[in-house]
Structure 1
Amino acid sequence: MIAAVSPLSPPKHTAVFIHTTNPFSFPLHSGADPAKMDWIRKTMNFRCFNKRTDSKVLKVEVESGGEDFMDAAVAEARVSPQHLVIMVNGIIGSSADWRYAADQFVKKLPDKILVHRSECNHSKLTFDGVDLMGDRLAEEVLAVVRHRPEVRKISFVAHSLGGLVARYAIARLYENLPKSALSNLTENSLDEEHTSSMHCLEQPCEARIAGLEPVNFITFATPHLGSRGNKQLPILCGLPFLERRASQTAHLIVGRTGKHLFLTDNDNGIPLLLQMVNDSDGLRFISALRAFKRRVVYANANYDHIVGWGTSSIRRQNELPKSNLLVTDNKYPHIVYVERERGDHNSDKKTLVVGKQTTDLEEEMIKGLTQVPWERVDVSFHKSKQRYIAHNTIQVKSYWLNSDGADVVFHMIDNFLL
């Protein structure tokens, strides 16, 4: 494996096993013979009839922050999943917000994926702003990758504000490496000095995130277009007076994050969210998104009082599906509309130049983000007793409060690209 190369310097990363029915402390290695895999399947099939299904999941607490989740039987067989899934919480959240989804991931894909629930941005740390949070997440990801040299692929799953943080982090972690380097160099032969001297002027290159192959980038109820006006913060009922007041006072409640969400920051003359829809000399925001094989947005079509349908699905108001197009799937009862990958066919596919005096920030962000195609999955809990907390139900933040969102989590896992 090629070590991640970045100007960021991750802290020393150690792990402590804190939960398993069969405690052990030996190193994992990639690859497994058929006999071991057969033993794993038999063990898991037996446990399907065991009421204590929670014993299947091994939780590893890591020194640099966050928690790794893997199947205990797979770990005991010394099989190392090669696909790393980073799960990112939203505002005033924590790694616990993704507990249910992480468990389901491990149970459904035990020998395929390793789940890391990020903890570097929790509680009031989510008030520090998208950029600082993104820097912390990038540091944490690098620490995980260095501690798990067996991983080869990486995906991100983020909720609410966490989606913006993940977009910033992947721009920090983005690299464009020559294919020859990817195929010839061993995991210990790529040091920082060597990498800095490599370039892609005369040979094909491949994009990498933290040195790994990017696969899925998935967000749930994320305000990709911010929360400014146009019913993007539904609790304000679309009233212009309230929306103006919210823009003026958000920073008093949620700090720099409020300025970023309402596009009132001007540290560099351009709001951060507007900067994040194009590549710049320092950060390749769109190139990083384009590197993923899939980009998916899950959006609440109604009853989400925190994040509007348009901003979470990256659509203009007139592009939102009409009610007569919304259908119910028996397997996923709360998935009402699925739009396969589509970019903005009306915009120039080249990188857009965003002017400082733009009059329609939302339109500029839509044009920028749709330079790459997105899958859009619309969700509705209108018949659910949990509909008024749809913002948390869509990710099953707490199973006893948000259990109706389980089918949305299963939809994500069933369509997850390995």
Structure 2
Amino acid sequence: MEDSEKNLQEIVEAKGSDESANEVKKKKKRKSYRARRSLIVSKLSCFRSPDYGFPTIDEVDGDGNVDMKSASAGENHSPTHLVVMVNGLIGSAHNWRYAAKQFLKKYPEDIIVHCSERNSSLLTFNGVDVMGNRLANEVTSVIKRHPNLQKISFIGHSLGGLIARYAIAKLYTRDSTDNHCLECISSERIAGLVPINFITVATPHLGTGGHKQVPMFGGSNTVEKVANQISWVLGRTGRHLFLTDKAHGQPPLLLQMVKDCEDLKFLSALQSFRRHVVYANAHFDHIVGWSTSSIRRRNELPQRKNLVRSGKYPHILKGEHDTTNTIKQETSIKSQVNSFKAARASMEEAMIRGLTKISWERIDVSFKGSKQRYFAHNTIQVNTPWMNSDGADVIQHLLDNFHLHL
């Protein structure tokens, strides 16, 4: 009888011990869940906040232009590097606000960020040249407000990259007239400042005029022809993007912008920057194709199956080395059968040849597997943080590789 009672007591104690252990496990699980939830809420709160977790001082002039400085920097600090951020089609300065905050967080003492205001909303239909002139005037006014600036960099999203390319040609100066002078590079200036970084994000450098440069058209020759016919819907900008503008017998504007013209030195202005970078979506960008945004022929694009994700930056791809200078142009015999495709291919080839006279860092991006993948064109910029937050690592990559000095 005593043995039975003893066994029963041991069973009860063992059961109590198990229940206690289970309770401890449950408490740990709840604590871990609360910690994860707190972290997620904290991140989301940061994205919802207009400051995105980092306070800045926004200086607004009479024209509505906004210059952003770090609120944490000393009162007497005088930044010497101007970073100009340019929005895309139907965009606004607000599209770059998240990225601007991250720049100021990383370089609080060194930079002023100016998110361009003068080409927003429907004004983006006015044409690359008109918007480029506006941006050039805008940058000049910013520099006048900050006389201590010494260096300048541009970052453009989508159409903004083309606008920036036009603007720098307007702002380009070169003190020396001797083309063989060893010091000529140091004498080149953009709006009187030393050019450092020229960065574009999902920019249609080769235009969007047919030849499979707009993924949403599905590569259909018929659809591309229709889009070509109705490009006027986007105003002068549409004609520039679809390469249908031929004012006064001149070639399309984007074709002109790959070389130096008599009054605008497009190529020299671009070459004057110490660094040239293109970020391009390899998947799910339905607006701008991979080849036009990375300035490569389609047969030069890496095989997607050979691309792997970077550990630190989940959406940045690593893979084959750039093959732009080693792969020869494909034969165009087949394309000559169709004059529409042949004309587009010919202009595209001319633009590639012009732009690849400059060395480019090509950063391929993929949001495959992300819930935000179908918004890849905006996610790569973190256009709207609560909707495009997965692009934060792309912005971080841009920051970590940004050249602050010569």
The residue matched to 1:302 in structure 2 has which SS?
A: coil
Q: Residue 240 of structure 2 is aligned with which of 260, 285, 297? A: 260
Contact 1:65 1:140 in 2 (8 A): no
State yes or no: 1:235 paired with 2:202. no
Q: Percent identity?
A: 55
Taking a change above 3 Å as real, the CA distance of residues 333 and 176 of structure 1, as seen in their structure-2 partners, is: same
Bigger proportion of residues as helix: 2
Of the three residues 318, 325, 335, the one matched with 1:337 is 318
RMSD (CA atoms): 2.2
The verdict on how the C-alpha distance between 1:381 and 1:261 changes in structure 2, with shifts beyond 3 A counting, is same
Matches within 5 A, 1:103-252: 103-178=101-176, 199-200=177-178, 204-205=183-184, 206-251=187-232
Residue of structure 1 in register with 2:388 after alignment: 402
Q: Which residue of 2 aligns with 1:292?
A: 273
Q: Residue 60 of structure 1 aligns with which residue?
A: 59
For the residue of structure 1 that corresponds to 2:175, the secondary structure is strand
Determine if contact 2:81/2:152 at 8 Å carries over to the other structure.
yes
Q: CA deviation at 1:62?
A: 2.4
Identify the range of structure 1 (77-86 vs 56-65) with the bigger mean alpha-carbon deviation.
56-65
1:273 to 254, 257, 280: 254
Residues 1:400 and 1:271: Cα distance change in structure 2 (over 3 Å) = same
Using the TM superposition, give the Cα deviation of residue 298 of structure 1 relative to its aligned residue in structure 2, in angstroms.
Answer: 0.2
Q: TM-score if structure 2 supplies the norm length?
A: 0.79
1:63 CA displacement: 2.6
Write the distance in 2 (CA, Å) between the matches of 1:249 and 1:403: 34
Given the alignment of the two structures, is residue 310 of structure 1 paired with residue 291 of structure 2, yes or no? yes
Aligned length: 338
Q: Name the CA distance, whole Å, in 1 between partners of 2:133 and 2:237.
A: 14
TM-score, with normalisation over the residues of structure 1?
A: 0.77
Tell me what 1:392 maps to: 378
Q: Could you tell me how far apart the structure 2 residues matched to 1:139 and 1:334 are?
A: 36
The Cα shift of 1:337 comes to 3.0
| Distance of 1:128 and 1:59 partners within structure 2 | 28
2:96 to 95, 98, 119: 98
Gaps of 5+ in 2: 1-48, 329-342
| Greater Cα offset, 164-173 or 333-342 | 333-342
Give how far 1:53 is off.
Answer: 7.1
Q: Give the match for residue 19 of structure 2.
A: none
CA distance in 2, matches of 1:285, 1:85: 20
Mean Cα displacement is larger for which, 288-297 or 323-332?
A: 323-332
The 1:391–1:62 alpha-carbon spacing in structure 2 relative to 1, beyond 3 Å, is same
Tell me the equivalent position of 1:374. 360
Q: C-alpha offsets along residues 380-399 of structure 1, whole Å, 9 cap, x if unaligned?
A: 00110000000000000010
Question: Residue 290 and residue 53 in structure 1: after superposition, are their counterparts in 2 closer, same or farther (change >3 A)?
Answer: closer
